[in-house]
Amino acid sequence: MAGNSFGQLFRITTFGESHGAAIGVVIDGCPPNIEIDQDFIQGELDKRKPGQSRITTQRKESDEFQILSGIFENKTTGTPLAIIIPNSDQRSKDYDHNKDIFRPSHADFTYEAKYGIRDHRGGGRSSARETAARVAAGAIAKLFLQKSGVEIFAHVSGVGIIEAPEPSSADLKQLETIRESNLVRCADENKAAEMVEYIDGIRKAGDTVGGRISCVIKNCPAGLGEPVFDKLHAELGKAMLSINAVHGFEYGSGFKGSEMRGSQHNDIPVATNDPTKMETVTNFSGGVQGGISNGMDITFKVAFKPVATIMHNQPTIDKEGNSAEIKGKGRHDPCVVPRAVAIIEAMAALVIADHLLRNQSVKQNFSV
Amino acid sequence: MAGNSFGQLFRITTFGESHGAAIGVVIDGCPPNIEIDQDFIQGELDKRKPGQSRITTQRKESDEFQILSGIFENKTTGTPLAIIIPNSDQRSKDYDHNKDIFRPSHADFTYEAKYGIRDHRGGGRSSARETAARVAAGAIAKLFLQKSGVEIFAHVSGVGIIEAPEPSSADLKQLETIRESNLVRCADENKAAEMVEYIDGIRKAGDTVGGRISCVIKNCPAGLGEPVFDKLHAELGKAMLSINAVHGFEYGSGFKGSEMRGSQHNDIPVATNDPTKMETVTNFSGGVQGGISNGMDITFKVAFKPVATIMHNQPTIDKEGNSAEIKGKGRHDPCVVPRAVAIIEAMAALVIADHLLRNQSVKQNFSV
Amino acid sequence: MAGNSFGQLFRITTFGESHGAAIGVVIDGCPPNIEIDQDFIQGELDKRKPGQSRITTQRKESDEFQILSGIFENKTTGTPLAIIIPNSDQRSKDYDHNKDIFRPSHADFTYEAKYGIRDHRGGGRSSARETAARVAAGAIAKLFLQKSGVEIFAHVSGVGIIEAPEPSSADLKQLETIRESNLVRCADENKAAEMVEYIDGIRKAGDTVGGRISCVIKNCPAGLGEPVFDKLHAELGKAMLSINAVHGFEYGSGFKGSEMRGSQHNDIPVATNDPTKMETVTNFSGGVQGGISNGMDITFKVAFKPVATIMHNQPTIDKEGNSAEIKGKGRHDPCVVPRAVAIIEAMAALVIADHLLRNQSVKQNFSV
Amino acid sequence: MAGNSFGQLFRITTFGESHGAAIGVVIDGCPPNIEIDQDFIQGELDKRKPGQSRITTQRKESDEFQILSGIFENKTTGTPLAIIIPNSDQRSKDYDHNKDIFRPSHADFTYEAKYGIRDHRGGGRSSARETAARVAAGAIAKLFLQKSGVEIFAHVSGVGIIEAPEPSSADLKQLETIRESNLVRCADENKAAEMVEYIDGIRKAGDTVGGRISCVIKNCPAGLGEPVFDKLHAELGKAMLSINAVHGFEYGSGFKGSEMRGSQHNDIPVATNDPTKMETVTNFSGGVQGGISNGMDITFKVAFKPVATIMHNQPTIDKEGNSAEIKGKGRHDPCVVPRAVAIIEAMAALVIADHLLRNQSVKQNFSV
């Protein structure tokens, strides 16, 4: 299969280029009778949309969506939902200078090499604009997950070399309030201020910087994940790595865990007298053991490289392989992570929704 | 779909438990007319098999394989290859003490929670024994890749807090010779000696330790990878994260890259006057841009947590959720990475083989 | 996976209800650099659209389509094509009387039983309106197939008990001219007249009638089809059976062939001195042997039941399982086959396009 | 994906050639805690095995199976079941005369054209021997379905021009007793005798003949089937058409239904005062409406062409495309339908099992 679908039973297919008529997504397999809260969906899209603040790109796109199918009297019907987001503010002319040039660390050359044709305007299909469709689909997944009590929270835990401490609170509502009160979407107020100032400096220098987003999934039932290949953390990893600019994924103890000893790393279970439950003293496993959720918090972290478009002129090559120069202009994010928080949550919601459904076929036989 | 298949067009399905009659794999989609070198396959399996040295588990398994179908006069026919590896040295009794106990940081509880039944002997399906089937399949993929010149090389680049430097040579044959000359499979002789001594100490202390494996894929043609979800690095990430004990994956600049600025991180292309080629001064992109290979070296790193089975008694719980103690006994690896090098290479070969085939359908139209 | 996608590599996902905002399709996997002829696509849609003649439904829908993505300068780019067809002439009120009633031989009860919710307007997702999206996608597939010379021709070969003879000519252009010159789309002028008159009588009686469509695929290369489950004829069969109202599929000799002896039925090959070619005296195999095309004409026939909506009052039940009566009103086809010819050709084109791409991964190794 | 897998959630992958070491199947997605009755599985295989009677091939194969994985203490564990059936009585020499010849109406040429290599012994992968693996998998599916009360019954309803009447009884146990008491597996005693005599005559003449098998599925819950492409009857159709020698499939009224009027064909519902139930006066719909089961009997019929191997010499071509003669020898079935009854039931069981699981993800939300 071509690569524009994700998920098995809660399955999305996204489409659309940066400067076409619209981008969008088809969701096939969303269960019926889910109430659709259109304001909630728009709210999710607004967290990702450009032009939010001085530390994001100044492009303005309203990212208003339309649901074309799959709902009746505002409830899902079990048939495919098609959602489109028309493109606006398309200054296609802005990209004429890129037509015959391969920009450094962009996908220009690779799309040309693969397909023999390339929509150069705004990166075409390789533009992060595509992720708006993911956020819309993720919002539907979140509405579905609300019934089961699963909660997902991501925030910016690192920008450049600045690292935020683990949030001290476990109250996600509280953390969300803090996160949404600062431009960088960090759950730590002090580090947030530091990050904003840092990004602002980067922006003024015409440069960009990478960052990290941490995510926790709470109240996920035990049993999700399909060994041996579709392990829950492997699916989360693929979901995150498929997001533009992501260069790394770790869950639980992650890379740090590879430096530890077994006697330190093992999560010792606590006696609860409840055979259906697993509680552990530590959670280096990140809520997943053998690829299956154990009911503890699922934790993971994602690393984003710096945005490739900078405001400096850079040497590069043209389509003939000859030397060229790329001008530093356009409207771009100095750091992608503040807007990417919504994308991380959306992809996490899609993975959990899909695995909730996949796990149904296993559970089927318990009660018989 | 259930989770025991990997790949779309070069597709494997593994089966088997640690203590059943056999483990194995079916490969569906291997192209016809590939010459099968049985010694090569056995050689790959031998790199993964237990009992290799004093720093691996002392269990002895010969891991001899048998091809049941899909070849004729020693060539593949385009029909499914089924390969089985009978289980031997099954001391099932060794595991009686685990029958009603959930071991810390193992998949005992999660398999019970998911399936309501569990083959407790040696971890059943969650045992890393399953990866032998992957290595056999990966060997077939390597034989296929030989025709296209793709080369894959992995080695142990970290054990606990010991980190090996990047190999100074780009000659993979030479690096392989070094790697195979030491017990830990590190391409740096000095660090290898340090690592072996370190693991030996860990082993004597009845403990275990995590580690890291780095991998490079050379001569991969530009154009592999299927945006936007089946990006080449996302597929590599999922493949690696599906391996037992893996907790992290990064490619190119990885987590370190998220601390960098765009002006540092951008890989500046070199003029070659060849429109079909991309050469860059640096390779922070790790050979993949926009999810598609660009022809440069593909580089990634994988983090393994420490083995959960240690030779110490540990508090835990039983199937009723009550307190219990797990005894420190059995035969296990103090560090999994020396044997896991073969698994990393196998999974990488499977991903590249699959994407070579997937890319055929895109290329179809160029020449018409 | 949910059931709204078809094909593996040339893969379509349709969406939309009879009375929602729009219906549409996403095509993922269409090769790049296919020239898009928008008039051709509209022409295909026009063959299926309602209101064509006195023997089809009198509903008027213009079925104008819009391509939202996947093309650049009028060529496919290898990224997903999204096509939408807005709904018009939606007299939703016409369906209020059906809201709480299950119509005989419709999908009202089964959608309610499956999903617990149902868009009753015009049959919702179960409406044959969905097939317009298939025709649009099939038109893209046909444009792709033009390069390889594959030709597809379907026509109405039976209406009720009237059966048309096999077309005497093998010139598809000529047959198409005849077919498009009569209202029923039969390639035999005499039988066409008889059929039109017959359907007209049925229509006046407020009744409906079933029919049959025959299809031939010419110039299909040998080698298409993926045994043992995705045999070419099995995929064609599934494609056809997925069309509304289809109750039967046969290829080559079909049901008649099951009455024959092997000595009659075997297709004796003709010596051509060309090792890449198969020519046979007869073609009871219908161009497919062992599930793989042999290069001869692929032939199959599809049976459609009569349309369930008739202009008579009928006893039925309501949502509570109580007796009810359904009134004979609305605007419906007396016989579905004249409009279904375009759907049969579209689905055939999608199957062949998909298998052309799937066969690429097998061919890969021949030349190496 | 390559074509050797069937089903989405109850998914099988078969492997093996007629004259390799073994054939077999991997079942991925079978729910846990199904009791495995090995005698039942063997009984199913025995109904398909060669050498049963004078009207089947005289080859002797015991078709003894071995389960390699996926069960623990005789229950399924939710992990993949691998089942192998070693090949025996392999007179490979018998096939030397076919090595360079393409037999009429066999898959010799098409396998060669597709793969460029061919295991000519006994037809290799194209041999109907592969269906033994399907029967073994189908037996597991039947054990799973027993819990839900679904019953499947197939019998030979036609041989050549002989047609059996619809069984007068609805008691499947009784019909099975009749069916198993005659060599041809027809549920009508009188027609059975006629068919046996007819086949015997065909056999003595060194010829073969086609036939038809009818199947009914009882107690299938309403709601199975996934529109718009994976309609229940479309999946049954593909399953049946994928069986060797099948040339046609129809369900409910089938081809005959395409001759009827709507006023005759509509299945009028009966008032039951039960909103969860659909009972109709007639059942021309064959238990499926809009691609979803309605709870009535599911009925379909399958047409088999005559076996291509006959005991007469026939003109044909060799691998160079030159004239050749194929000798009439070997051990083959004069008519395939008596042994194919078990295959039809197996494939039906696999389709229903898969759709029971697929329907779980839809049902998920009803109770919330």
> What is chain A's pLDDT, residue by residue, as a tens digit (368 residues)?
789 999 999 999 999 999 999 999 999 999 999 999 999 999 999 999 988 888 888 777 789 999 999 999 999 999 999 999 999 866 666 667 778 999 999 999 999 999 999 999 888 999 999 999 999 999 999 999 998 899 999 999 999 999 999 998 889 999 999 999 999 999 999 999 999 999 999 999 999 999 999 999 999 999 999 999 999 999 999 999 999 999 999 999 999 999 999 999 999 999 998 888 899 999 999 999 999 999 999 999 999 999 999 999 999 999 999 999 998 887 789 999 999 999 999 999 999 999 999 999 887 655 43
Q: Which residues of chain B neighbour A305 with C-beta distances below 8 Å? A: 252-253, 257-258, 260, 265, 284
Q: How far apart are CA B89 and CA B18, in angstroms?
A: 10
- Going by pLDDT thresholds of 50, 70 and 90, the confidence category of residue D367 is very low
Contact D292 C322 (CB under 8 A): no
SS (H, E, C) A111-154: HHHHHCCCCCHHHHHHCHHHHHHHHHHHHHHHHHHHCCCCEEEE
Q: What secondary structure letter does DSSP report for C270?
A: P
Cβ C102 vs Cβ C108: under 8 Å: yes
In chain C, which residue's Cα lies nearest the Cα of D244?
Answer: C290
Q: Please, which residues have CB within 8 angstroms of residue D208's CB and are 6 or more apart in sequence? A: C261, C262, C263, D202, D306, D307, D308, D309, D310, D332, D333, D334, D335
**Residue in D with minimal Cα distance to A359:** D361
D242 touches C229 (CB < 8 A): yes
Contact D249, D344 (CB under 8 A): no
Cβ atoms of residues D184 and D197 within 8 Å: no
Pairing mode, strands B71-72 and B5-6: unpaired
- The DSSP letter of residue C134 is H
User: Is the sign of the CA dihedral B336, B342, B345, B351 positive or negative?
Assistant: negative
Among D14, D135, D289, the strongest candidate for a mutation testing the C interface, having the largest count of C CBs within 10 A, is: D289
Tell me if C33 and B365 make a contact (CB, 8 A cut-off). yes
pLDDT at C367: 44
pLDDT digits (tens, 9 = 90+) for B115-165: 999 999 888 999 999 999 999 999 999 999 998 899 999 999 999 999 999
Residue in C212, C262, C309 nearest the CB of D310 = C262
Residues of D in contact with C4 (CB under 8 A): 227-229
Chain D: residue whose CA lies nearest to C367: D116
Give the pLDDT confidence of C168-202 residue by residue, as tens digits. Answer: 888 999 999 999 999 999 999 999 999 999 999 99
DSSP run (H or E) holding B223: none
Say if residue B315 is exposed, middle or buried (CB neighbours under 10 Å; 0-12, 13-18, 19+): middle
Q: How far apart are CA A80 and CA A68, in angstroms?
A: 10
DSSP H or E segment with residue C152: strand C151-159
C366 or B253, higher pLDDT: B253
CB spacing of A228 vs B307 below 8 angstroms: no
List the D22-28 sheet strands across, edge first: D5-6, D11-15, D22-28, D81-86, D66-69
Contacts of D361 in chain A (CB under 8 A): 9-10, 29, 31, 357-358, 360-361
pLDDT 10s digits, C209-242: 999 999 999 999 999 999 999 999 999 999 999 9
Average pLDDT over residues C145-152: 94
Distance from CA of B110 to the nearest CA of A (A): 6
**Mutation site, A11, A15, A358, interface C, largest C CB count within 10 A:** A15
Q: What integer pLDDT is reported at residue B93 of this predicted model?
A: 65
What is the structure's pLDDT at C368?
Answer: 36
Q: And the tokens for B26? A: 């079916």
Q: Token match 């959602």: residue?
A: A83
Q: Which of B19, B25, B90, B117 to mutate to test the interface with D (most CBs of D within 10 A)?
A: B117
Query: If we measure between CA atoms, which residue out of A312, A307, A313, A314 comes closest to residue A333?
Result: A307
The span from the CA of A10 to the CA of A148, in Å, is: 15
User: Taking a C-beta distance cutoff of 8 angstroms, is the pair D269, D280 a contact?
Assistant: yes
Per-residue pLDDT, averaged over D165-188, amounts to: 94
Kindly indicate the confidence band of residue B61, based on its pLDDT and cuts at 50, 70 and 90. Answer: confident
Topology, domain D5-252+287-363: Chorismate synthase, AroC fold (3.60.150)
Residue-wise pLDDT for B300-344, tens only, equals 999 999 999 999 999 999 999 999 999 888 778 999 999 999 999
How far is the CA of C41 from the CAs of A153, C50, C68, C183, C346, in angstroms? 46, 16, 14, 21, 11
Do the annotations mark residue D48 as ligand-binding?
A: yes
Q: Is C1 close to A22, i.e. CB distance below 8 A? A: no
Q: Which residues of A touch B211 (CB under 8 A)?
A: 258
Q: Which residues of C touch B144 (CB under 8 A)?
A: 365
**CB spacing of C14 vs A80 below 8 angstroms:** yes
Please tell me the predicted confidence (pLDDT) of residue A93.
Answer: 64
φ, ψ of residue C101 to 5 degrees: the values are -120, 140
**Backbone torsions φ then ψ of B207, nearest 5 degrees:** -115, 180
What gap in Å lies between CA A195 and CA C8, rounded to an integer?
46
Q: Is the peptide bond before B228 cis (omega within 30 degrees of 0)?
A: yes
Nearest Cα residue in chain B from A354: B1
Element (H, E) at B35: none
d(CA A219, CA A150): 5
At a CB cut-off of 8 Å and minimum separation 6, what does C139 contact? C40, C41, C44, C45, C346, C349
Å between C11 CA and nearest CA of chain A: 7
Q: Which residues of B touch A156 (CB under 8 A)?
A: none
Of A143, A141, A153, the closest CA to residue A177 belongs to A153
Decide if D348 contacts D152 (C-beta within 8 A): yes
DSSP per residue, A218-242: ESPPTT--BTBTB-HHHHHHHHHHT
Select the residue of D161, D250, D316 nearest C269 (Cβ to Cβ): D316
List the subunits that have 3+ CB pairs under 8 angstroms with A: B, C, D
A75:C17 CB<8 A:
no
CB contact burial D137-153 (16+ within 10 A = b; e otherwise): bbbbbbbbbeeeebbbb
Q: How do residues B129-138 score in pLDDT, each as one tens digit?
A: 999 999 999 9
Laid out side by side, the sheet with D314-318 consists of D101-102, D314-318, D323-326
Q: Return the C-alpha torsion angle C341, C344, C350, C352, nearest 10.
A: -110
Pick from A302, A239, A230, A225: nearest CA to A5: A239
Residue with tokens 């439950």: A277
CB atoms within 10 A of CB A70: 28
For CA atoms D52, D54, D56, D62, give the dihedral sign: positive
Q: Is pLDDT above 90 for C8?
A: yes
Mutate to test the interface with B, among A10, A114, A250 (most CBs of B within 10 A): A114
Closest Cα to residue D342, out of D135, D129, D130? Answer: D135
Distance CA A335, CA A192 (A): 14
**Which residues lie across from B299 on neighbouring strands?**
B216
Closest Cα partner for A69 from C24, C12, C65?
C24
The answer to whether B9 and B359 have CB atoms below 8 angstroms apart is: no
The pLDDT assigned to A61 comes to 79
Comparing CB atoms, the residue among C3, C247, C268 nearest residue D250 is C247
Chain A residues touching residue B114 (CB < 8 angstroms): 222-223, 225, 292, 359, 362
**Beta partners for residue D215, in sequence order:** D154, D300
Q: How far apart are CA A15 and CA B241, in angstroms?
A: 27
Which has the closest alpha carbon to C315: C302, C305, C328?
C328
- Helices first, then strands: H and E counts in chain C: 9, 17
The overall longest dimension of chain D from CA atoms, in Å, is 71
Higher pLDDT, B91 or C191: C191
Residue A31 per-residue DSSP state? P
Structure tokens at B260: 């960098």
Q: Do A366 and D147 touch (CB under 8 A)?
A: no
Q: Measuring CA to CA, which residue among A260, A341, A254, A365 is closest to residue A49?
A: A341
Position with higher pLDDT, A190 vs B61:
A190
Contact status, residue C120 vs residue C108, Cβ threshold 8 Å: yes
**C330 confidence band (pLDDT: 50, 70, 90):** confident
Sign of CA dihedral C327, C328, C330, C334: positive
Is a pLDDT exceeding 60 seen at residue B367? no
Q: Which residue has the tokens 């035999």?
A: C188
Average pLDDT over residues B95-114: 90
Inter-chain contact A278–B107, Cβ cutoff 8 Å? no
**φ/ψ of residue C112, rounded to 5:** -65, -40
Residues in chain B with CB shorter than 8 Å from the CB of C361 are 9-10, 29, 31, 357-358, 360-361
Secondary structure of chain D in HEC code, one letter for each residue: CCCCEECCCCEEEEECCCCCCEEEEEEECCCCCCECCHHHHHHHHHHHCCCCCCCCCCCCCCCCCEEEECEECCEECCCCEEEEEECCCCCHHHHHHHCCEECCCCCHHHHHHHHCCCCCHHHHHHCHHHHHHHHHHHHHHHHHHHCCCCEEEEEEEEECCEECCCCCCCCHHHHHHHHHCCCCCCCCHHHHHHHHHHHHHHHHCCCCECEEEEEEEECCCCCCCECECECHHHHHHHHHHCCCCEEEEEECCHHHHCCCEHHHHCCCECCCCCCCCCCECCCCCCCEECCEECCCCEEEEEEECCCCCCCCCEEEEECCCCEEEECCCCCCCCCCHHHHHHHHHHHHHHHHHHHHHHHHHHHCCCCC
Instruction: Dump pLDDT digits (tens) for C82-124.
Output: 999 999 866 666 667 778 999 999 999 999 999 999 999 888 9
Banded pLDDT at C332 (limits 50, 70, 90): confident
In the prediction, which pLDDT does A368 show?
A: 36
Instruction: Give me the pLDDT at residue A52, please.
Output: 86
- Residue A32 counted as an annotated binding residue: no
